[in-house]
Amino acid sequence: MSDNPFDDLYQILSNGQIPSGQAIAFPGTVQVPILRAPPAMPANGVAGPSSQYDAGEVSFSPPLRWSAADLNYLLGAIFPDQTVGRAILLELRNETPNSPSSPVRLGLYLRIPPQQRPVSAPAAAPNDTGRLVSKALITEATGATEQAARKALVQAILAMGVSLRHVTTQHLVLSHLYRQPDFALQSIKRGIQGMAAVSEVEWVERMVQLRPVKKDGMPWFEARLEMLLLEGGFSGLPKWASIVDVALGLREEQRVEWAKTYGEVVRFLDIVQTDLDMAEE
């Protein structure tokens, strides 16, 4: 096995065929994590103007305002699949109703498709719709203001084990990936297919070799992409293969726009990280 699975060992013929080996077919349909700022969603069952998220612009330059737009955009970066699928729900409410000075509680929920109550379940109450609970709490936080509650919620999410720096690296790699020419993307795809065929022992050995990232003089982009693939495990390869396929299917100008979008996300995440680091000092 080559130390670098992205080494282009094949010669592409004029008919597009690879003379050595056969491409591995990945099963199933894979969601591509397209980042987009999710639309503001009103909090269910919450009365008053505080339940409506403002449509302010995202803070692409400091200081971070911790607006609803900032939080929605950040959630789109951390939970891309759930955000695109509208599976994320925010609920904002005052701890003491009808009290403007009351602390604000903000909850982050995972939306669950309604399910019919099973026959074996206890008898429903008179006003029960017969459907099971349609959301599950992920985490929540409290703040003196809505802005403080949003920031506290992000800190609570990160306390669950989410690494903002890792999310930033993912989007930085994506911004570089979408700037690659076709031949480089085709080489990356073959590298991903090759990784699917290696043993677990080789997989672990390669992870050790890639620490530090720039070992053996590998370019930053190739090294970080490979490390992300290794960290994601075998099950993560189909998603990355699908991302490369999407990039190959775009025109050059479209690809550049996608790269710019991911670059904007990186800039925003850096601002968020700086704000959170300052809060810890």
| Three-class HEC string of 40-86 | CCCCCCCCCHHHCCCCCCCCCCCCCCCCHHHHHHHHHHHCHHHHHCC
Q: Are 71 and 58 in contact (CB under 8 A)?
A: no
Residue 257 corresponds to which amino acid?
E
Work out the number of other CB atoms within 10 angstroms of the CB of residue 109: 19
Q: Looking at residue 208, what is its pLDDT?
A: 86
Q: Looking at residue 38, what is its pLDDT?
A: 33
Structure tokens at 196: 């699917």
Instruction: Flag residues of the chain having pLDDT under 50.
Output: 1-56, 127, 215-216
Query: How far is 30 from 241, CA to CA, in rounded Å?
Result: 9
Residue 43 corresponds to which amino acid?
A
Is the pTM higher than 0.95?
no
Q: Looking at residue 81, what is its pLDDT?
A: 83
Query: How far is 212 from 88, CA to CA, in rounded Å?
Result: 36
**Residue 249 Cα distances to 6, 11, 178, 243, 253, angstroms:** 20, 21, 11, 10, 12
Query: How far is 4 from 215, CA to CA, in rounded Å?
Result: 11
Q: Which residues 6+ apart lie within 8 Å of 211 measured at CB? A: none
What's the gap between Cα 12 and its chain centre?
33
Task: Please write the tens of the pLDDT for every residue from 60-90.
Answer: 888 899 999 999 999 989 998 888 788 889 9
Strands 135-143, 104-111: pairing kind:
antiparallel
Q: Are 83 and 108 in contact (CB under 8 A)?
A: no
Q: Are 62 and 274 in contact (CB under 8 A)?
A: yes
Closest by Cα among 108, 79, 76 to 91: 108
Q: Looking at residue 133, what is its pLDDT?
A: 55
